[in-house]
Amino acid sequence: MTPRIRDEDQVRTMTLEAFADTIVPGEKRSPDDRAVAGAAPGGGAVAAGALELLEWDATGLSSGLGEFARLLNGHAQVYAAEHELAPDESVPPFVALPFEHRTALVQRLTTPGHPEKEFWVSLALFSNMAFDSAAHLHTADALAAGHPGLIAMGIELPDPDGLWRFPAYSYGRQLARLHPDTTPSGSPA
Amino acid sequence: MTSTERTDVLVVGSGFGGAIAAYHLAAGGARVVVLERGPWLTGNDFDHDFKLGSSYTRAFDFTVGDGMSVLGGNCVGGGSVVYFAAMPRAPRFVFERHGSIGRRMWPSAVSRDTLEPWYDRVEEAIPVTKQEWSDVSYAGGLWAAACDHAGRTANPLPSAIDNSKCANCNWMMAGCRFDAKRSLLFNYLPGALAHGAEVRPLHEVQHISRTDDGDYRVHYNVVDDEDYRIQAGSGTIDAKIIILAAGAGATPVILQRSEATLGTMPNAVGRYFSGNGERLNTAVLNEDKVREVLGLSRGDGLAYEANQIGKGPTVASWDRLDGSLPEYSRFSLEQLYFPPGLGTILAQVPGATGPSWFGVDKKELLKRWRSWLIIFQMTEDDNEGVFGPPPATGNADRISQQMLGVGRLRYNPTANTLRGWAEADAEVKDILERDGLAEVAAWTNDVVGAYTVHPLASCRVGDDPDTSALDDRNELRGHPGIFVTDGSAVPGALTVNPAMTIAALAERAIPGIVHAAQQRGVNVTYGAPSPDGATSGRQGAARLVPTLLHR
Ligand SMILES: Cc1cc2nc3c(=O)[nH]c(=O)nc-3n(C[C@H](O)[C@H](O)[C@H](O)COP(=O)(O)OP(=O)(O)OC[C@H]3O[C@@H](n4cnc5c(N)ncnc54)[C@H](O)[C@@H]3O)c2cc1C
């Protein structure tokens, strides 16, 4: 038997995690992880801290997160009915969707013309930012702590003072002919 | 008792248009106040950090619109602090464009030839320098080599960077920590301050009204220095001359909001917006092919893997800047760097079958980020942007504490614009997919619409009162004493980076503004040297000054 969903907070967290995991998918945190679908190897947006970022009021989204989760679950119910997917009452309706259906629903919600597109796009933007820029953490700290997104992208470590410098930066030679109509100061004529 | 604050000249915004005007007016003897909505950051304030609240979000503005999102500076120095400092002059044919109006868009008085002396002034003041191949980043070199391999030419871009200080950290968008970028904080703005101008950060101008004695009154809000959603006060300043330079995404909004107090605005206020025909492509390089086909090697075993290294754009291909080609077919292709966050979300998976900008395949694309090469296209668009009614304050409803807001710009690309983008996409593909070098995909326009870091033309100069809000000296039609000197004055897409042309047009507007100030009794003269005292630019432009005084 699956445990009953305890409260609204848990519904909201699981739903938002499942959304973030649809944007940048990752591996399950434990075998019984339901929110993270496990659609890709390595940590995804959730492991990268998407919920921490979204819950931070600096984003401007935090106060609306409960509403986002409620709306998303509403859309998921409609979607599941359309596709005659067997209901699973043990988790929120969006979490109950298999990964490819989560993906299809998010595509629908973010397609130009959808009346709520703006909301879903902003949720997607911040989910993505948790992974590719760790916008809730100091970048140097995130790298030092092995942040899954920054590490996966291969972002270089900074110098000990926390600043990036690349003393080697150029192939150092002419690699193309110049346009014939270039002015002496280097502009197009 | 309330005392009204007064000044001679009130400048709104401290980017190129604002700083240049503030310098010349102050140096000429006028009392100048500059109101800037963003914070005043320098040197050590510029962080290498993506955390919200670092300089990357404090100094930056991202306004989502309907079909077009606009990125810009939000700090003292405006776009010059966050920009990439590529400073080419616009090609000759640009000034002859007709665009959507069936006649020359630029005023008859402005051509590449007549603008040349003003370009020279800017080049001397900032200064802008020609770049050598040894200054070019790996990414720029790669782009040059790929262009060459495909029979194209490529040029290092003239730039406003002091290469001796540059660490090639590619954090330019967060402001330059090493003082290598020659932003306005190093030339026009200190020049203006030295001559007594006052710059007030965190002051956002909302609207303008008239005073009983015929001057203008500027109404501003004070913005909280951490949470820009919070207003910390408000006030007014009276001035004889107003110079609007809030950027092409904000200047028309201030004027629209002022219509209730100033009366009817010219038809072209908030219309004819151009995104400079901007579009981006991301290529993912095949490292083996980079080595085999282009013969490139970094010397440390790597062929490229250098997306993170450099100083924004360093090389552009200008083969399609050919005036004999039809309008909308001319564009430049420029290598660029965009940091994660803004620079990754819109990148699409080449040949995607599922979702193109998120999901499993997108994650795989992100894992190859070191091998990305971003190509920036600047095409000819159709000036199709229109601003809807203004929001309550500023130019956007702010969502996040900093950076992100929703504005009122609508942009529905015409067939001409779409054709230009398609031709530019095809050209990039042809160059970069040759011999398996890379896979290329354009950034999606379906997420936040098209996007631009080069907003232009929303309050433009011209000869035709129906299609231009400003006369050919940058004065707002029907509202004497109000001038616009920022990117909104530029009539249309330039096919190259615009700051050099924005700045030159601002320099050109100054004699007329000084003259208008004199006529209103302000004790001011024209003729300041470059902010560092150099005088050859002034000499070069001197013969043109008399032609700019008549009205
Ligand atoms: C990431 C990035 C890279 C770029 N790279 C290049 C490049 O390499 N080369 C190039 O030529 N161009 C580049 N640009 C574009 C260039 O920065 C702009 O074209 C240029 O700064 C525009 O100058 P402006 O005077 O029109 O306005 P801005 O420089 O944008 O200045 C406007 C100022 O007004 C302030 N403001 C807005 N509203 C108000 C208000 N209501 N009250 C008071 N102040 C207000 C803003 O905060 C801002 O500081 C880049 C832009 C970005 C964002």
Report how far apart, in Å, the C-alpha atoms of B495 and of each of B33, B55, B90, B258, B489 are: 34, 29, 7, 32, 16
B335 to chain A, any CB pair closer than 8 A? The answer is: no
pLDDT by residue for chain B (551 residues), tens only, comes to 457 899 999 999 999 999 999 999 999 999 999 999 999 999 999 999 999 999 999 999 999 999 999 999 999 999 999 999 999 999 999 999 999 999 999 999 999 999 999 999 999 999 999 999 999 999 999 999 999 999 999 999 999 999 999 999 999 999 999 999 999 999 999 999 999 999 999 999 999 999 999 999 999 999 999 999 999 999 999 999 999 999 999 999 999 999 999 999 999 999 999 999 999 999 999 999 999 999 999 998 999 999 999 999 999 999 999 999 999 999 999 999 999 988 899 999 999 999 999 999 999 999 999 999 999 999 999 999 999 999 999 999 999 999 999 999 999 999 999 999 999 999 999 999 999 999 999 999 999 999 999 999 999 999 999 999 999 999 999 999 999 999 999 999 999 999 999 999 999 999 999 999 999 999 999 999 999 999 999 999 999 999 998 66
Name the DSSP letter for residue B461: B
SS3 of chain B: helix, strand, coil, percent, to 5: 30, 20, 50
* pLDDT of amino acid B549: 84
DSSP B182-204: --GGGTHHHHHHHTT-EEETTEE
- Please indicate if any CB of chain B lies within 8 Å of the CB of A22: yes
Strand segments (E) across B30-137:
32-35, 60-66, 68-73
Choose which residue among B87, B119, B314, B454 to substitute to test ligand 1 binding: the one with the highest number of ligand atoms within 8 A of its C-beta: B454
On chain B, the residues whose CB falls within 8 A of the CB of A116 are none
B39 lines ligand 1 (CB under 6 A): no
The pLDDT confidence band at residue A2, using thresholds 50, 70 and 90, is very low
Residue B309 touches partner A, C-beta closer than 8 Å = yes
Q: Say if B1 falls within a structural domain.
A: no
Give the domain extent around B452: 6-548
Q: Is residue B426 a part of any domain in this protein? A: yes
> Are A58 and B400 an interchain contact pair (Cβ–Cβ within 8 Å)?
yes
Structurally, chain B folds into a number of domains equal to 1
Q: Please give the Cα distance from B119 to B158 (Å, whole number).
A: 13
Instruction: Give the pLDDT band (50/70/90) at residue A124.
Output: very high
Closest in A140, A179, A186 to B130, CB measured: A186
B79 CA from centroid of ligand 1 (Å): 3
A172 in B contact zone (CB under 8 Å)? yes
**Which one of B64, B91, B305 has the shortest CB-CB distance to A189?**
B91
Whole-angstrom Cα distance, residue A102 to residue A30?
20
The SS3 assignment for B347 reads coil
B303 in any annotated domain: yes
- Let me know how long chain A is: 189
The domain segmentation of chain A, as residue ranges, is: 8-153
B262 lines ligand 1 (CB under 6 A): no
Which residue type, as a one-letter code, is found at position B341?
A: G
For chain A, the first-to-last Cα distance in angstroms comes to 75
Residue B101 lies in a domain: yes
Interface contact A154-B398, CB threshold 8 A: no
Model pTM score: 0.98
Interface test with B, best of A132, A150, A165, A181 (most B CBs within 10 A): A132
**How far apart are the C-alpha atoms of A85 and A83, rounded to whole Å?**
5
What pLDDT, on the 0 to 100 scale, is given for residue B55?
97
**DSSP structure class, residue A11:** H
Any idea what the CATH number is for the domain that residue B320 is in? 3.50.50.60
* Residues 79-138 in A contacting B (C-alpha not used; CB under 8 Å): 103, 106-107, 110-112, 118, 121-122, 124-125, 128-129, 131-138
Q: Is B250 inside any structural domain?
A: yes
Give me the residues paired with residue B407 across strands: none
Q: Is the CB of B17 under 6 A from ligand 1?
A: yes
